[in-house]
Amino acid sequence: MDSTKDLIIVGGGPAGYSAALYAARASLDVLVVEHGMAGGQIATSDIIDNYPGLGSCSGAELGQKMQEHAEHAGAQSTYGSVSSIDRKDDMFIVNTDMEQLEAPALIVATGATPRLGGFVGEDEFRGRGVSYCATCDGMFYRGKHVFIIGGGNSAVEEAMYLSNIAEHVELVVRRDVFRAPRGMVERLLTRDNITIRYQTSIIEVSGSTFINRIVLRDNATGETHAEMFDEGSVGIFVAVGHDPATQIVAPYVDLGSDGGVVTDESMATKTPGLFCAGDMRSKSLRQVITAAADGAIAAMSAYAYLEESGRI
Ligand code: NAP
């Protein structure tokens, strides 16, 4: 494969593959670099049911369809983890763990990464009772007791998913309100095996091979107490939000107060030829549909940039 392209897209989620589709349909020679499954974050979503016209579909399936659609239009994909981006003579040099690629225009759509819960023992028991993905690890908790930390969309979706697997699901919400919309919370309350602990935080976990002790704090009174479990019978799923993944573009962009990349409406950053799209941007609504829209706009802006600068 030629390592010089018209356009390189870093990230194969909804933003990246929507950009690839639009770029390929505009006859650009475009390559998507992705280090995991197509779909990015949605690949770990059990169900996507808010993408218009789609009905209900698994995130992994939607990610795969987006990739196939872009490739059918002429986009190429390559596996690689991008470590850095250099700028040389108006070209972007994209350094991956596999190869060096270059293009005069770049769209970065690296999404967002899960935040940590911040409790004692979290790192030590990661994969041994502490998880960040219900669709990935839920099966290990069939018939068991699980706690989910968080009160946003992700936490509610994880609770719904795990309620079909675990015997008992407890949602641990640090304030007295959810961040997730009311309709979603109401659906949650219809499940018999889900309970909610408001104004509560998990502050410590311990055990030997697996967790057997969880310390909880009542955030209204500050009181703490420990609960004991048989080892291996309990799990904690952390779903407390995501941080925009901006590391590789940091030298070339400005960041907003939410940690996302600041772009204008055309998805342009302060560096000519560099566009950002999807959840890594500073924005108010992070959804599949807004990521896909960002991707389409970024592709058309990259096309205009290449044309105006005489590169195509
Ligand atoms: P989020 O909306 O930012 O919610 C994070 C939740 O975790 C909040 O309830 C927050 O509490 C809580 N939290 C944060 N740090 C915590 C900590 N250290 N300990 C305990 N609780 C903590 O995050 P998200 O649910 O991952 O969603 C991220 C974005 O993706 C959002 O824009 C969301 O709308 C979108 N999303 C949408 C869907 C969908 O539409 N189906 C699905 C998933 C995600 P506070 O409220 O007190 O801050």
Q: Which pLDDT score, from 0 to 100, does residue 46 have?
A: 79
Q: Which helix (H) or strand (E) holds 138?
A: none
Measured in Å, residue 178 CA sits from the centre of ligand 1 at 9
Q: Given ligand 1 and candidates 154, 173, 201, 238, which is best to mutate, with the most ligand atoms within 8 Å of its CB?
A: 154
Q: Are 103 and 58 in contact (CB under 8 A)?
A: no
**Ramachandran region, residue 207 (left: φ > 0; alpha: ψ -120 to 50; beta: rest):** left
Q: How far is CA 306 from CA 4, 12, 249, 309, in A?
A: 14, 22, 20, 5
Q: Give the start-to-end residue ranges of the domains of the chain.
A: 7-113+242-308, 130-238
Considering only CA atoms, which residue is closest to atom 41 of ligand 1? 153
Q: How far is CA 102 from CA 2, 85, 195, 286, in A?
A: 10, 9, 52, 29
pTM: 0.86
Q: Which CATH class is domain 130-238?
A: alpha beta
Spans in the chain with pLDDT lower than 50: none
Task: Return d(Cα 132, Cα 240) in angstroms, integer.
Answer: 9
Smallest CA-to-CA distance from 301 within 67, 18, 19 is with: 19
Ligand 1 atom closest to the CA of 178, numbered from 1: 9
Ligand 1 atom closest to the CA of 173, numbered from 1: 21
Q: Are 287 and 157 in contact (CB under 8 A)?
A: no
Task: Return d(Cα 286, Cα 114) in angstroms, integer.
Answer: 14
Q: Which pLDDT score, from 0 to 100, does residue 136 have?
A: 82
Q: Which pLDDT score, from 0 to 100, does residue 174 have?
A: 98
Measured in Å, residue 239 CA sits from the centre of ligand 1 at 7
Q: Given ligand 1 and candidates 174, 217, 258, which is best to mutate, with the most ligand atoms within 8 Å of its CB?
A: 174
Catalytic residues: 133, 136-137
Task: Return d(Cα 307, Cα 312) in angstroms, integer.
Answer: 5
Q: Do domains 7-113+242-308 and 130-238 have the same CATH topology?
A: yes
CATH 2.40.50.100, applies to 7-113+242-308? no
Ligand 1 atom closest to the CA of 118, numbered from 1: 18
Q: How far is CA 86 from CA 14, 55, 310, in A?
A: 25, 42, 21
Measured in Å, residue 280 CA sits from the centre of ligand 1 at 15
Q: Which pLDDT score, from 0 to 100, does residue 135 have?
A: 85
Q: Are 139 and 163 in contact (CB under 8 A)?
A: no
Measured in Å, residue 150 CA sits from the centre of ligand 1 at 6
Measuring from each residue's beta carbon to the nearest atom of ligand 1, which residues come in under 6 Å? 50, 117-118, 149-155, 157, 174-175, 179, 201, 239-242, 286-287
Q: Given ligand 1 and candidates 240, 242, 289, which is best to mutate, with the most ligand atoms within 8 Å of its CB?
A: 240
Measured in Å, residue 156 CA sits from the centre of ligand 1 at 9
> Could you tell me whether strands 7-10 and 105-108 are parallel, antiparallel, or unpaired per DSSP bridges?
parallel
